[in-house]
Chain A
Amino acid sequence: MVKDITIGQFFPGNSFIHKLDARAKILSCFVLIIFIFLCKNFASMGLMCFLICFVYALTRLSPKLMAKSLKPLVPIIILTSVLQLYYNNTGDVLWSYKKITITDGGIYTAIFIVVRIVALLVISSVLTYTTAPTDLTDAIEKLLSPLKIFKVDIHTFAMMMTIALRFIPTLIDEIDRIMSAQKARGADFESGNLLKRIKALFPIFIPLIISSFKRAFELADAMSCRCYVGGKGRTRMRKMSFSYRDAIAGVITVVICGAIIFMNFQFEALI
């Protein structure tokens, strides 16, 4: 049950997208996310969707995988679009009943909201699915390094992220184990009212927090033993380098973004 969580999971592979430099992936992902919100009509949105589908196909990951991770979010997506239908009353009235008015503006917004949320999830999943966590944090550290002139401790921040990502599976395993142990003593997590269920979580979280602290101290000791003193003067084992692939990805991103701006001017904005 707990093991279904796949936040930030990485699926090793050998595709074009996998081989891209992590910095290039983060930057393109960031730019595309901004442009998802700038798509104002079906032409530009369609182009964006086509690009995202194309990128996902390039990862050679199964579409089922994406569908599985979208599944738990379906209720939220439906709820937001229904709310849009109800609250957005711009444009021509198509249908009305008592206080409920459905307008074409509302319908367009609802459609765009659904497409945008799905597009956002897919593009950010492509990033985490195809990038090893260590590469991801290395890249974030590199990309944020200009902030160093403001005395922001980028290295520590990146290290914290690496450690946090690294321990997600460990903690999930631990929760599983503690839950089994308490179940063996007759704890019941599956029935009862909300209050009872919340109370049933104490026997899991107390041991979990205690062991997390213990593990954190041990990890800190282990790092000190290997002379870790922070980022100062630290060199990297793997150097990141841009290649022709990153250039291709960059060019495609820029061209698509340009096309989206062009289409926004060319066609009527729907929202």
Chain B
Amino acid sequence: MSVLSVKNLEYAYSKGTPFQIGALKGVSVDFNLGEIVGVIGHTGSGKSTLLQHLNGLLKPESGEILFEDENIWSSKESVRKCRFGVGLCFQYPEHQLFESTVFEDIAFGPKNMGLSESEIKERVLESIKFVGLTEDYLNKSPFDLSGGEKRRVAIAGVISMKPKVLVLDEPTAGLDPVGKNDLLDLIKSYNKTTNSTVIFVSHNMDDVALIADRVLVLNDGNIVMNGTVPEVYSKGSELLKLGLDVPEITRVFLKLHEAGFDVPTDVYTVSDGKEKLLEFLKRGKMNG
């Protein structure tokens, strides 16, 4: 069932001036309930512009966006409903923290929704636990936290609105490998426990392979590929043409295959790669 769908979306920056840039040129896509969609594309392909349309921050020039089968621009209420129903978390979300305590900052969204005090408190506690921080953090100033903690707080601020669709722009940018994996796990578990849709933009093909059910590839304002991870990643040469690449582990297997070893080439995550490699080695032992 599609919870959010985009129909023939077109958008251009600096319209009517010589600087006009066509950012989106007729994009149509459906997002289903409960799936994780990775959006990839090189810089300037229109990823961020697409994301900002999903919760009504940008108004499409033509085309429409349907959230739960209702055009989000049909009335003032529908835009507002969409803002809360589709939680958008910007790149480097830690830069948007502003309240004096972590509690207040996470409560900003729920407060704007007009929830009761007790409901707000409940949601804040729930979300801070969700992002893997303890309740001790709630009374601290967000500016005393480390970079990784700040990002968790910022994400908690979006999760606390309990959006049906969680949209993240480069959630792992600038994090260390451990922090990155933790965050990806967190996104995955949010998706599993709440059965919500997660849409995330990433430059990192490995991240997408790790958690996405479906991959959208954007190029020059158009969706050029839309399919499962194996479907998209098996087109390595086409991805290269778009300025993208396959995950590192896939490259290792491709090289091994090239060198004459009988290994599969459709390996996209490290854990899968380990299995396949062990399998291959076992086979080798049996034969020799």
Contact = CB atoms under 8 A, between A and B. Distances in A.
Contacts of A207: 95-98
Interface in A169-213: 177-178, 180-188, 202-204, 206-207, 210-211
Interface string B67-103: 0000000000000100110011110010111100000
Contact of B93 (A181, A188, A203): A181
Given A180-B90, A184-B90, A186-B83, 8 more contacts: A177-B90, A183-B57, A184-B87, A185-B109, A185-B157, A185-B161, A186-B84, A207-B96
Nearest to A207: B98
- SS of A interface (majority): helix
B112 interface: yes
A184 B52 CA distance: 9
Q: How large is the interface on A (under 10, 10 to 19, 20 to 34, 35 or more residues)?
A: 10 to 19
B88 A184 contact: yes
Interface string B101-117: 00000001100110000
20 contacts: A178-B96, A180-B90, A181-B95, A181-B96, A182-B96, A184-B57, A184-B83, A184-B90, A185-B108, A185-B157, A186-B108, A186-B112, A186-B113, A186-B161, A187-B108, A187-B112, A202-B98, A203-B98, A203-B108, A207-B98
A180 B95 CA distance: 12
A11 to B, nearest CB: 11
Contacts of B96: 178, 181-182, 203, 207
A159 B143 CA distance: 30
A188 B89 CA distance: 17
A185 B158 contact: yes
B219 interface: no
Nearest to A202: B98
Contact of A184 (B97, B113, B158): B158
A155 B113 CA distance: 52
A147 to B, nearest CB: 40
A169 B80 CA distance: 29
A247 B85 CA distance: 65
Interface string A128-143: 0000000000000000
- SS of B interface (majority): helix
Nearest to A214: B95
Interface string B250-285: 000000000000000000000000000000000000
A188 B88 contact: no
A206 B93 CA distance: 14
Contacts of A181: 90, 93, 95-96
Nearest to A188: B112
A58 to B, nearest CB: 21
A55 to B, nearest CB: 24
A167 B112 CA distance: 32
Q: Which 7 A-B pairs have the closest CB atoms?
A: A186-B112, A206-B98, A181-B96, A184-B88, A185-B109, A181-B90, A203-B98
B55 interface: yes
A66 to B, nearest CB: 16
A187 B84 CA distance: 11
Contacts of A210: 143
B83 A180 contact: no
Given A185-B108, A186-B112, A186-B161, A180 B98 contact: no
B157 to A, nearest CB: 6
A197 to B, nearest CB: 14
Interface string B151-170: 00000011001000000000
